[in-house]
Amino acid sequence: MSDLSHVLPPEDETLAKPARTIRDVARRAGVSIGTASKALNASGRLAADTRARVLLAAEEIEYRPNNLAQSLHRARSMTVGILSNDSFGRFTIPIVAALERRLFDDGIAVFMCNATDDPQREQRHVDQLLRKRVDGLVVTSRRADVRAEVVPAVRGLPVVYVFARIENPDALCLLPDDEGGAGLAVEHLVRLGRRRIAHITGPERFEAVRLREKGWRSALAAAGLAARDGDYRSGRWSEEWGREAARSLFMRRAQPPDALFRGNDQIARGALDALGEFGFAPPDDVAVVGFDNWDVMTAAARPPLTSVDMNLDALGSEAGASLLKMMAGRRLSGAKRLPCSLVVRDSCGAGLRNGIKKR
Amino acid sequence: MSDLSHVLPPEDETLAKPARTIRDVARRAGVSIGTASKALNASGRLAADTRARVLLAAEEIEYRPNNLAQSLHRARSMTVGILSNDSFGRFTIPIVAALERRLFDDGIAVFMCNATDDPQREQRHVDQLLRKRVDGLVVTSRRADVRAEVVPAVRGLPVVYVFARIENPDALCLLPDDEGGAGLAVEHLVRLGRRRIAHITGPERFEAVRLREKGWRSALAAAGLAARDGDYRSGRWSEEWGREAARSLFMRRAQPPDALFRGNDQIARGALDALGEFGFAPPDDVAVVGFDNWDVMTAAARPPLTSVDMNLDALGSEAGASLLKMMAGRRLSGAKRLPCSLVVRDSCGAGLRNGIKKR
């Protein structure tokens, strides 16, 4: 571990190239090391042509500053750690990708830590990140849910929770506005003339499920409509549950719903498949709207599925921007919910001109 | 950037705790700094009880070694960079998760770099990683395909390609055995008594498509069967293409296939849906096998889909293990293909005892 020869065979002379030092730059530019340092770090006063000469010399000899050495000076490692407990799944990935893009533009590299749901493993990850002297932490979660606080043992180290929430009001938590997103779906269906809008969704232990239900009820109330008995069903996040719930809603009732707002796209797709089986033709007979805007489901559904998009990209960018602000000394806190948007396709009947049946 | 106060407000005294130095450890243990260093780095000779005393002292004052300072000594940063060009998608994620797990156990943290398909962005990522003095690079790709070589400008820096291949025979490339995987699927169908096994697959520009076709043809030939005209169709990676191809295969032909081996699970699922529409009942009339073993598709398909699993976890672990070997000085090279496995569910008819129709 302590021996350079493990990494590079001794005969390998080419390491000399990337290991050029600031001394080499100074010599080539014909300036002092202090001047070269000023130019390379964009600090202190320096004539423009001197600065240009140094930068050119650095370029010519392919000088790469050693971040490790820099970090020790600056007390900044230009690294950030991302902790996920969902093995970087479908929701985390677009967030992390946008975050990484945002931070990369500021020269910051991202450590990816998959802590799964094991608190001990998570703590070991946090310890490892602290040993790497990360400048900040981002914590994501499986389904925008409440989770335990990450206590990094370094007070003042910026931590951003994204698609995750903790109870501490001093923490910054960035979340999608599930309630508002559900409202968008219902308002759209109401505008299209639908009056009996049922809501089939996932397990109630998820905060997102409870918030979407709330949004559904509020939007119905605002439109002067009521949620009828049996029009709300909570179950699983699966196509199978979508089919099952659609069957029980449509087969046994005299007055079936004319619209379904589903808790996610898999449930919505299952419902679409099942509806066809017993003679209902979406979107004419029943309009269907999903949640998540997951391309795999929305594109393959017949008709293509209208869905609420949580704008995970925007969440990731905002997390990156917030972390940069906190690293620059600003204090940010509170649970901040970013707007969802509705992506309209054919399953809600919006594409059909005057084709909406009023019952 | 050069000011510590950005990171920590000056009044924040608690930083003192994690920033304990080796000097503090030595003082508490009543040993010299050199002795403390030996004990903490597990180097040099030291009496067991002295070593224990130092480690205990380190524990008690919550001393955390500064990896940055260590790295400068050791010429090892204990970090590795992962470059992806698929925004860490469905295939890359399980690989990277397994890789990260493997390396974490050796105390190595992983930088995640999403280079998309932009060569300039990729180069900037590589440069950034070199400035961080990573000990190695892992490069992944969208679909186990040939890609451009990453030239890190540091000769001797270990690079592992996983789910990606470059033309240079000196490079280590870890790949799934697509040809063998296709063979498993066909052999299984043959064992179940199927004789006309069509292959519907994705775009031929993918090496995986060409290899799976080869595996399909070889396994047919080995079983004394022939690929009939029109039984091979290349198209898109989508459920829509799966439906389209199934329609054209089954509607116009006097003797339709009794089995379908599909290039991926989406194509297979589309086919399953379409077969039902014109009166074919899988698996009795037609057995269907997919590729990828993607749970979202295999579980929702009716009947649940038999599929070839590329064992991406194993690929990721192997990439981690190989990188560690290379970091320890071993030279590894060549394209290495790891075996796929077949996950049997109901869509191939294996679950039905004596239920297979022979035509």
- Structural domain boundaries in chain A: 4-65, 77-176+312-339, 178-310+343-348
Nearest to A112 among B94, B100, B157 (CB): B100
Question: Can you spell out the DSSP letters for B45-68?
Answer: ---HHHHHHHHHHHHHTT----HH
Nearest to A114 among B100, B111, B127 (CB): B100
Look at residue A289 in the predicted model and tell me its pLDDT: 95
Angle at the Cα of A173 (from A167 to A175), degrees rounded to 5?
110
Q: What pLDDT, in 10s, does the model give residues B117-140?
A: 788 888 888 888 888 889 999 999
Please tell me the CATH code under which domain B4-65 is placed. 1.10.260.40
Contacts of A75 in chain B (CB under 8 A): 4, 7
Q: Does B52 touch chain A (CB under 8 A)?
A: no
* pLDDT > 60? residue B304: yes
Q: What pLDDT, in 10s, does the model give residues A85-123?
A: 776 678 888 898 899 999 998 889 999 988 777 888 888
* pLDDT > 50? residue A179: yes
Look at residue A103 in the predicted model and tell me its pLDDT: 94
Distant-in-sequence, close-in-space partners of A300: CB < 8 Å, separation ≥ 6: A269, B238, B239, B240, B266, B269, B270
B-facing residues of A in 180-219 (CB < 8 A) are none
Token pair, residue A182, equals 């559900």
Percent over 90 (pLDDT), chain A: 45
In the DSSP assignment, the letter for residue A354 is T
* pLDDT > 90? residue B189: yes
Rounded Cα distance between A238 and A64, Å, is: 51
Phi, psi of A124 (to 5 degrees): -65, -40
Rounded Cα distance between B103 and B113, Å, is: 16
Q: What pLDDT, in 10s, does the model give residues A285-333?
A: 899 999 999 988 898 888 999 999 999 999 999 999 999 999 988 999 9
In the DSSP assignment, the letter for residue A2 is -
Q: What pLDDT, in 10s, does the model give residues A76-86?
A: 789 999 998 77
**Contact status, residue A185 vs residue A153, Cβ threshold 8 Å:** no
Which range has highest mean pLDDT (A82-96, B217-231, B341-355)? B217-231
Is B111 in a helix, a strand, or coil? strand
Mean pLDDT of B63-77: 61
Q: What pLDDT, in 10s, does the model give residues A227-286?
A: 888 899 999 998 899 999 998 888 777 788 999 999 999 999 899 888 888 788 889 889
Token pair, residue A44, equals 């202190």
> Å from A183 to nearest chain B CA?
28
Please tell me the CATH code under which domain B178-309+343-348 is placed. 3.40.50.2300
C-alpha distances in angstroms, A74 versus A135, A175, B10, B112, B314? 11, 33, 15, 23, 40
Look at residue A18 in the predicted model and tell me its pLDDT: 44
Q: Homologous superfamily of A77-176+312-339 in CATH?
A: Response regulator (3.40.50.2300)
Tell me which of A55-64, B106-115, B186-195 is least confident: A55-64
* pLDDT > 60? residue B7: no
* pLDDT > 80? residue B351: no
* pLDDT > 60? residue A130: yes
The candidate with the shortest Cα–Cα distance to A229, out of A253, A246, A208, is A253
pTM for this predicted structure: 0.75
Look at residue A171 in the predicted model and tell me its pLDDT: 93
Mean pLDDT of B323-339: 94
Is B230 in a helix, a strand, or coil? coil
Look at residue B155 in the predicted model and tell me its pLDDT: 67
Domain pair B4-65 / B178-309+343-348, same fold = no
Mean pLDDT of B337-348: 95
Interface test with B, best of A3, A7, A113 (most B CBs within 10 A): A7
Look at residue B3 in the predicted model and tell me its pLDDT: 35
Q: Which CATH class is domain A178-310+343-348?
A: alpha beta
The complex scores an ipTM of 0.71
Mean pLDDT of A200-209: 94
**Mean pLDDT estimate for chain B:** 83
How is domain B79-176+312-338 classified at the CATH fold level? Rossmann fold (3.40.50)
How would you classify residue A87: left for phi > 0, otherwise alpha for psi between -120 and 50, otherwise beta?
left
Look at residue B219 in the predicted model and tell me its pLDDT: 97
Look at residue A210 in the predicted model and tell me its pLDDT: 96
B-facing residues of A in 57-96 (CB < 8 A) are 62, 64-69, 71-79, 81-82, 87-89, 93, 96
Look at residue B121 in the predicted model and tell me its pLDDT: 85
Mean pLDDT of B292-306: 89
Sign for the pseudo-dihedral over CA of A187, A191, A195, A197: negative
In the DSSP assignment, the letter for residue A135 is S
- CB distance A72–B75 less than 8 Å? no
**Mean pLDDT estimate for chain A:** 83
**Contact status, residue B306 vs residue B346, Cβ threshold 8 Å:** yes
- At position A242, the amino acid (one-letter code) is G
For residue A14, name the pLDDT band (cuts at 50, 70, 90).
very low
